Structure formats: structure tokens, C-alpha cells
Amino acid sequence: MSLGQITPLAFQRTVDASTGTIVTQLTPNGSVCHRNYFYQKCFTEDGNKLLISANFDTNRNYHLLDLQNESAIQLTEGKGDNVFGGFLTTQDDALIFVKNNKQLIRVDLKTQEHNVLYEVANGWVGYGTWVPNSDCTKVVAIEIKDTDYMSLDSWEKFAQFYHQKPRCRLISIDLNTGQRTTIFEENIWLGHPLYRPNDDNTIAFCHEGPHDLVATRMWMIDESGDNMRKVHEQDDDESCTHEFFVPDGSKMMFVSYRPHMDKRQLCSVDAQTLAFKVEAEMPACSHLMSNHDGSLVVGDGSGTPVDVSDHDGHTIQNDPNLYLLNLNTGDIRAIAEHNTSWTVLNGDRQINHPHPSFTPDNKSVLYSSDVNGSPAVYLASL
């Protein structure tokens, strides 16, 4: 196979036994397929095309799935694709992704022509998910000193890496010129860089590591590197994770949880004033994502978190459901069971995470699951 290759798919429709929700499996059993990271753009604006990662070729590469024709076209090839961090441009004309932790590449969706937008300097490694501003003219990114870097192919290494205090830098990359600007650099493991939608001067990032060891996870900083501020002052026993900006830029939402509690809180801060609010008491969802204005949120029920040091204290029953939270009415309901295993597969810690988000019309929820034996991509209708 190669670039432009079309893979026919046969969607499988089933009905969730407990809720009656129609669930459509988009990718075949026996393959390794998943969606990108939950806040990265994966649907074209019209909702007809969907970016996925699949191993239809030898390697795990990007493919653009056509939801009407039930087929997928291959966008990338060869080894080394960062298959979680890639995203479709705001203009719907390209995929942008990182290859071999080294090159930021633009792929034309029509021709699959590749252009290198930026190359990581010698001595550094491109890490994690890189996120564009609303105009898609810049991305924020994290780079780690190569002498400090290691492949994080298990949750044990995830913990170890935190204690190593790797040299990290938060950078912005101009996608027209390839110019890099360092915003902040420190011997602290940094992750989750985000541009606030419609406000390039507000950038968020996190202190990464076991959630119960990190004192303050979420930070914001001006694009100039000034005005670094805590997003939320955490209590001593409070863990925070999976922060995201509501797509209209109004708020940052995140999950807050504590030991010896099954329930979790969906919290938010006003993106401008940082005014804090508990949006909902909810089942133990790991990742959540909202619709455009933050009135609807979808979350993936989960089990005992693996990214904490006090495993016993955080032990909870596994919750296999996808949930819909209506923050206007306070209503929370199960959509369907995702039943994913959450297991690490071939050194990939994220592959069996549901990472749910809404389709552009808010009528369905996209997620990943290995419920049928291998990682696959699903849509659950609302």
C-alpha cells in the first residue's frame, strides 16, 4: 500500500443493550485503529470525513475516512507517525502531524503531498501532542532535551520520567516560516500545550507526572513568556487532569478527583478571569470533551487510574459507560457502554483509551475501544 490507497470498509451497526443507542463500528476487527487525541480536530467541518490512525498498511499511519462511502484514503506512510497528536487544519485542506519526534509535516488531503513545516533542532526531541491556534498559523509544542528523553512505553516509565525532571521547553512554531520561539524552559516535565481558541496570547500547559504527586498541574502563560499563572490552586489530596479549552474559548475544563472517592468533579475556570466553578459531580470519567459552547460534555467512564503513585488509595470500580452531561439542566445519562480494556498495547499507553468527543453536528460521539478484541473506532448516536 501507499499514499492515496483506498481501503474499503464495512461499517457494523449494533444496538447498545442497556440504552438502546445505535453504535456504529467504523473500522474492522483484527486491525489496529484509533482516533486522535480528544481535543484535536478530526472531523471536516461538514462532518463527512474523519481522520483516523490505522495499520491498513504495514505501519500505523493516518487515513481519512469517508463516512458516506465507507472507505478510507491513506495520507501517510512508513514508520514513526505520532498517531495521536495529528490534526486537520481549520481550513480542512491538510493534516498536520509529527514524524519520528523530529519533523512537523503538512499533508495535503487531496494530493497527499508532504511539506516539512518545522524540524526539531539537534539535541532536542519533539514530545506529545502539538496544538494549533484557531487560524492554524502557529502551533504550541513541547520539546525535551535528548539526553533526558526516554520512550514512555509503560506507566512505570511515566512515573520514573517525572522524578527525572527532564529539561523541557514550551515553544511556539510559526507554520509559515518554521520559526521557533521559546516561551518557557525549565527542568520540569511539561505537557499538554494548548492555544486558547481565538486568543493567541493565552497558552496553557501542564506539569506532567503522577497526578497525586504533581502539586499544580495546570498553568497559563502569555505568548511572550510573561504572566505565568496557576489555573487552579489544588488541595493537597486533589488530582487534576485532562484539561481542555471549550472550543469557543470561554473556559478551561478539567477533571478533579481525590482518594477514597468513586465520584469525580468536572470543574472549569473562566479562561480570562480564572474564576473557578464545579460544573458537575459525575461518575469516574477519565477524559471529557465539550461541544462548542461548553453546554454539553461527553466523558468515558474508567477504573482505577494508572497515573497516580497511591494506587490503593485511588482504587475504584471500573465504569464501562460513555456519559453525556448536560450542564444547563444538570442531567447526566449513560450513552452506551464503551467496554474498552484500557490496556497498554505494544508499548502504547493511549491506544485503548476511548477519548470521546462530539461530531460537528453534536448528534453522535466518536470514541475508540478494543471491546471486539482489537482497537477500533466507533460512533454512538445521541
Query: What is the phi/psi pair of residue 316, to 5°?
Result: -135, 165
Least distance (Å) between residue 264 CB and Mn ion: 15
**Cα Rg for the chain, rounded, in angstroms?**
19
Residue at shortest CB range from Mn ion: 353
Kindly tell me which of 231 and 285 has the beta carbon lying closer to Mn ion.
285
Sheet containing strand 229-230, strands side by side: 190-196, 199-207, 218-222, 229-230
What residues contact 286, with CB distance under 8 A and at least 6 apart? 241, 242, 255, 299, 300, 301, 302, 305, 353, 354
Instruction: Among 136, 353, 377, 382, indicate the residue that binds Mn ion (CB under 5 A).
Output: 353
Task: Report the distance separating Cα 102 and Cα 124, nearest Å.
Answer: 9
The count of chain residues that interact with Mn ion, using the rule CB under 5 A, is 2
- Count H helices, E strands: the chain? 1, 30
- For residue 164, give the H/E element and its range: helix 155-164
Based on CB atoms, which residue is closest to Mn ion, 282 or 289? 289
Q: At its nearest, how many Å lie between Mn ion and the CB of residue 281? A: 22
CB of 83 closer than 8 Å to CB of 355: no
Restricting to residues 237-266, which ones interact with Mn ion according to CB under 5 A?
none
Q: Specify the stretch interacting with Mn ion by CB under 5 A; choose among 62-70, 264-272, 314-322, 343-351.
A: 343-351
Cβ 128 to Mn ion shortest distance, Å: 12
CA atoms of 323 and 125, how far apart (whole Å): 36
For residue 355, the minimal CB distance to Mn ion (Å) is 6
The answer to whether the beta carbons of residues 203 and 221 sit under 8 Å apart is yes
Stretch that binds Mn ion, among 14-22, 147-155, 203-211, 353-361 (CB under 5 A): 353-361
Binding mask 111-150 toward Mn ion (x if CB under 5 A, else -) reads ----------------------------------------
Stretch that binds Mn ion, among 13-21, 168-176, 213-221, 344-352 (CB under 5 A): 344-352
Our CB check for Mn ion shows the closer of 28 and 85 to be 85
Among the listed ranges 161-169, 211-219, 315-323, 342-350, the one in contact with Mn ion (CB under 5 A) is 342-350
DSSP string, 248-298: TSSEEEEEEE-TT-S-EEEEEEETTT--EEEEEEES-EEEEEE-TTSSEEE
Per-residue binding letters, 295-334, with Mn ion (x by CB under 5 A): ----------------------------------------
The piece of 96-104, 128-136, 352-360, 374-382 that touches Mn ion (CB under 5 A) is: 352-360
Site for Mn ion, rule CB under 5 A: 350, 353
